């Protein structure tokens, strides 16, 4: 866990992904989400139990064959000696829960906003827990067999690199705008649902600049494409900081309530409670619009309304303002632990409800 004692630069986080893939090739594949304006590749980890389970299944078949042979032998036994030796059951291998071949998917990412460093840290921890928990924790194994998780620690990689190299408080991506000295689109104002309808800015120099048109920014576009292509995404969480909120759709339209609101809020409340049970931190649950402010072009509105992702959330991690974006490193691990509990709860909720 010492990896979560510090924040890490982009190269180190990419190394983390690479290492996970190399150490657990049966469980994790590295997914290229796409390329940014500055040409960096955005990496995700796709985690699913299927490949690993195939080996188990091959073993199981073998065991079944052996069992048949043993049964046959035992009928000879009883014919010859009268008593049936019924203790011929092989119990060496427990039946594993069958992984789904075409599983529903859950997509999780951090780092839409460059300066919100706790996001990528927490998201990489979530990946680690799912990967190392597989085969060790019953609960995690069941979820990883059931769902395909795609986990992208850093989405806005250009911005993230910029916060490490030039300006710690940079938020947007780094692509040029119509004003040469004001680069950067806010990726979280550039998604295509009710784009530029309030709570975003048309001024390229603003930190909430929505861009010239929907999906002009590469980062939201690559996630949206991924979700559309998959067709089976049931859960989505976009991690930000700060404020300690577990937010639901919508952000653009304050009068509109999702038709699945009850389920979405129930799952979110459960996640916030599971989170609080770990270190006592309170997270408020509710729509973006109602619990922070109106913001159009945000991720979860699009994933819910256009991407078909029923359980779509944006989460603001620690803290509530004392340190803000500059959350101390000794809070990385506790923040990760509690957030993972929330994510587990959510996935379990979806597993049971859907
Ligand atoms: O304003 C934002 O983009 C988010 N807050 S932050 O301080 N991290 O910048 C809130 C995003 C709410 N979510 C959506 N509107 N999708
Ligand atoms: Zn943010």
Q: DSSP states of 90-142 as a string?
A: --SSPPPPPPPSS-EEEEEEE-SSTT-THHHHHHHHHHHHHHHHTTT-HHHHH
Pairing mode of beta strands 41-47, 28-35: antiparallel
Q: Is the pLDDT of residue 54 over 70?
A: no
Q: How far is CA 315 from CA 21, 101, 267, 274, in A?
A: 26, 30, 13, 14
Per-residue model confidence as pLDDT tens digits over 243-296 = 999 999 999 999 999 999 999 999 999 999 999 999 999 999 999 999 999 999
What pTM was estimated for this model as a whole?
0.89
Q: At 277, list the tokens.
A: 């049970």
- List of domains in the chain: 2-49+99-353 (3.40.630.10), 52-97 (no CATH)
Q: Residue 79's pLDDT band (boundaries 50, 70, 90)?
A: confident
Q: Rounded to an integer, what distance in angstroms lies between the CA atom of residue 147 and that of residue 233?
A: 9
Q: Is the pLDDT of residue 354 over 70?
A: yes
Which residue CA neighbors atom 2 of ligand 1 most closely?
A: 188
Distance 99 CA to ligand 2 centre (A): 34
Distance 300 CA to ligand 1 centre (A): 10
Residue 118 exposure: Cα atoms within 13 Å on the Cβ side: 28
Q: Is the CB of 118 under 6 A from ligand 1?
A: no
Alpha helices in the chain (DSSP H): 10-23, 50-81, 118-133, 138-146, 157-165, 218-230, 261-279, 288-291, 299-305, 332-353
Distance 116 CA to ligand 2 centre (A): 6
Atom number of ligand 1 nearest to Cα 189: 3
Catalytic (active site) residue 331:
no
pLDDT at residue 260, rounded to an integer: 98
Q: At 194, list the tokens.
A: 């009710």
pLDDT at residue 66, rounded to an integer: 84
Alpha helices in 134-217 (DSSP H): 138-146, 157-165
Residue 130 CA, chain-centre distance (Å), reads 10
Residue 237 burial class via C-beta count within 10 angstroms: exposed 0-12, middle 13-18, buried 19 and up: buried
Distance 199 CA to ligand 1 centre (A): 10
Distance 299 CA to ligand 1 centre (A): 9
Residue in the structure block whose two tokens are 């998917």: 105
Q: Please report the ipTM that was assigned to this predicted complex.
A: 0.92
In testing the pocket of ligand 1, which one of 245, 299, 316, 320 has its CB within 8 Å of the most ligand atoms?
Answer: 316
In testing the pocket of ligand 1, which one of 187, 188, 238, 264 has its CB within 8 Å of the most ligand atoms?
Answer: 188
Which residue CA neighbors atom 16 of ligand 1 most closely?
A: 298
Angle at which helices 332-353 and 118-133 cross, to 10°? 60
> Residues of the chain with pLDDT > 90: what percent?
85
Atom number of ligand 1 nearest to Cα 243: 7
In testing the pocket of ligand 1, which one of 251, 297, 305 has its CB within 8 Å of the most ligand atoms?
Answer: 251
Pairing mode of beta strands 147-152, 41-47: antiparallel
Q: Rounded to an integer, what distance in angstroms lies between the CA atom of residue 76 and that of residue 273?
A: 60
Residue 101 burial class via C-beta count within 10 angstroms: exposed 0-12, middle 13-18, buried 19 and up: exposed
Catalytic residue among 116, 129, 219, 316: 316
Residues with CB under 5 A from ligand 2 (ion): 113, 116, 240
């Amino acid at each position: 866990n010492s990896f979560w004692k510090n924040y890490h630069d982009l190269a180190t986080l990419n190394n983390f992904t690479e290492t996970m893939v190399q150490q657990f090739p049966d469980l994790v594949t590295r997914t290229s989400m796409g390329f940014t304006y500055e040409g960096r590749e955005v990496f995700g980890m796709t985690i699913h139990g299927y490949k690993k389970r195939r080996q188990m299944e091959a073993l199981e078949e073998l065991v079944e064959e052996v069992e048949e042979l043993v049964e046959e032998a035992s009928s000879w036994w009883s014919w010859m000696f009268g008593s049936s030796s019924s203790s011929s059951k092989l119990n060496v291998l427990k039946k594993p829960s069958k992984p789904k071949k075409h599983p529903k998917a859950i997509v999780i990412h951090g780092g839409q906003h460059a300066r919100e460093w706790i996001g990528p840290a927490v998201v990489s921890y979530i990946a680690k827990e799912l990967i190392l928990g597989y085969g060790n924790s019953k609960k995690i194994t069941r979820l990883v067999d059931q769902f395909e998780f795609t986990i992208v620690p850093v989405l806005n990689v250009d911005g993230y690199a910029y916060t490490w190299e030039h300006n710690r408080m940079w938020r947007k991506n780094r692509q040029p705008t119509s004003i040469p000295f004001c680069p950067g689109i806010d990726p979280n104002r550039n998604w295509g649902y009710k784009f530029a309808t309030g709570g975003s800015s048309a001024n390229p120099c603003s930190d909430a600049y929505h861009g010239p048109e929907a999906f002009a920014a590469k980062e939201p576009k690559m996630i949206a494409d991924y979700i559309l292509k998959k067709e089976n995404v049931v859960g989505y969480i976009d991690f930000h900081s700060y404020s300690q909120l577990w937010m639901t759709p919508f952000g653009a339209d304050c009068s509109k309530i999702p038709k699945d609101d009850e389920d979405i809020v129930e799952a979110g409340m459960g996640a916030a409670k599971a989170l609080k049970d770990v270190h006592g931190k309170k997270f408020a649950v509710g729509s973006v619009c109602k619990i922070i402010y109106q913001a159009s072009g945000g991720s979860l509105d699009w994933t819910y309304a256009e991407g078909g992702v029923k359980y779509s959330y944006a989460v603001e991690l620690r803290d509530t303002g004392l340190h803000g974006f500059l959350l101390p490193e000794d809070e990385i691990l506790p923040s990760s632990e509690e957030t993972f509990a929330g994510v587990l709860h959510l996935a379990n909720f979806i597993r049971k409800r859907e």
